[in-house]
Amino acid sequence: MSMKRKLSFLLLYGTLVLFGGLGALLLLFGEKAPHASLTENRMLAGFPQLSAETVRDGGFMSGLESFLSDNMLERDKLVQAASRLTALFSLEQPSEAAADLEVFEQVQSFAQGTEPETVPTAVPSSPAPDAHTPAPAALAPADTPAPTDAPDRPDETAVPADTEAPATSAAQAPSNAPALTEKDLSTVSDCIMTCTEKNGKQRMIYSFPKANVQRMIRLLNAYRAVLPEDGHMFFAQPPFPGVANYIRSGEYISWESDLEATINAYANDGVYMVSALDVLLPHLLNKEYLYFKTDHHWTPRAACYVANELLRQLGIDPKPYDEYSFTVYKHFWGSIYWNQPERRSSMMPDTLEVLIPETPVKGWVIQWDRSRKEGPFMVPNGQSYYAYLGGTLGPWRRFDTGVDCGRSCLVIGDSYDCCFIPFLAPYYETVHATDVRDAYYDFPHVKWSISEYIQENQIDDVYFVLSTASGVNTDYLIGYLYRFL
């Protein structure tokens, strides 16, 4: 045997011995039962059942392969590293906007009444950075009148009204949540969102299965339960621009949703869901500039309208948008036209209004070890969506506003909250924020729960601000926020 072949044989033999040893250690000391991966948002395989039947039909070896793959050492770190490398070398869009943009185009197709090539039909297995994955949508044909009741369609995640959800379901409050006294949710119905076209026909844009609505109510109640007696739990679900821009253009003349009324009817005292749809509708019909043309986000004006409506629930008379001061940039090209200069010839750039704070707001990014470093609030020379808060940073944000009022709030949301948070700052002494998606919240390193953070920082009010693409049907709400309460 030549020296070269001998070295190759020794290298291969050593590799097999190494991996065989690692496999033996895993079999001896690894987790044998199936268990959840928060990084991948799925159940990892447990050790397969050994029997004559499973050996004969090949099920044991197939299960053993899955077990060894799913339980390899440092799997979470490898998965995260792979995701970050994929995002780093993507040539399509900046990592924070790529997933949003894909969903934006899908929602545009819904609004136009044409089916995209692939319509998402289930909650994604794992959120990408800044991932806005739309609710499973049912699109009615253009000539179909709006249904009087929610459509009777199968829902794999539905929990029968007269049975308890399984122990692993997000429908149950987590073990560390306080005991809840809630209204009977068995009579909750499916909810839908429809838009009326200018010809009078109605189109269903989103449907919200009963089980997901029930989970949403339980979630809001659970968060309210950890707040002080005079605390408040707010939720607003801003629409994606694929719908809103068609109202502004006149293609749609109205929208309707029974989700907010249902949640308010069944939620506990101190929980309020405000319809962002209803807040923004008259302004869109008035042709106001509420969504960027070249980006997938809403504008600060739209965020201010919704923030002010929520503040009114507290008895506050908030400052109108036009009374704030801004630095204005008229050449903002957003995520839809990012790195695509050839598409810009047929489109005017957006105008970006960057709020000038009235008080010296100090921003911080808080790490899991409770250390903190300075973070931006407004970026006055920023000429992108990052001008607001510097974009999404994690795992926690804190803004000391310079306002002496003795109250603090926590905002939980996707990137839509970057425009929203500045309009809470004049009314709270501190504003805290988090985004529980993996790119920012860093699941494997969670050191304390959201409940603990609320209590440690004496939070009075909590605001959920999530676009419809991260809303009621997605795992952001029905999964992650339960796990970390």
3-state DSSP assignment of residue 214:
helix
* The pLDDT of residue 268: 94
* The pLDDT of residue 70: 62
- Cβ atoms 388, 378 nearer than 8 A: yes
* The pLDDT of residue 347: 81
* The pLDDT of residue 383: 80
* The pLDDT of residue 364: 94
3-state DSSP assignment of residue 316:
coil
Spatial CA neighbour of 97 closest among 135, 136, 132, 125: 132
3-state DSSP assignment of residue 365:
strand
3-state DSSP assignment of residue 312:
helix
- Cβ atoms 389, 412 nearer than 8 A: no
* The pLDDT of residue 276: 93
β-strand 408-413 against 461-465: which pairing, if any?
A: parallel
- Cβ atoms 247, 286 nearer than 8 A: no
3-state DSSP assignment of residue 184:
coil
Cβ neighbors of 267 (< 8 A, separation 6 or more) are 217, 220, 221, 224, 273
* The pLDDT of residue 90: 35
Report residue 42: phi and psi, to 5°: -155, 170
Name the burial class of residue 109, with classes exposed (0-12), middle (13-18) and buried (19+) by CB atoms within 10 angstroms of its CB.
middle
* The pLDDT of residue 115: 33
Q: List the chain pLDDT tens, one digit each, 485 residues.
A: 566 666 776 777 777 777 666 666 655 655 555 443 433 333 455 667 677 766 666 666 766 766 666 666 555 555 545 544 443 333 333 334 444 444 334 333 433 443 333 223 223 333 333 333 333 232 232 333 333 332 222 222 222 233 233 222 333 334 444 445 668 899 999 999 888 988 899 888 888 999 999 988 999 999 999 999 999 999 999 988 877 888 888 888 888 889 999 999 999 999 999 999 899 999 999 999 999 988 889 999 999 999 999 999 999 999 999 999 999 998 888 887 776 777 777 788 899 999 999 999 999 999 998 999 999 999 888 788 889 998 888 899 999 999 999 999 999 999 999 999 999 999 999 999 999 887 788 777 888 899 999 999 999 999 999 887 777 887 787 677 877 88
Spatial CA neighbour of 306 closest among 293, 324, 321, 292: 321
Q: What is the pTM of this model?
A: 0.66
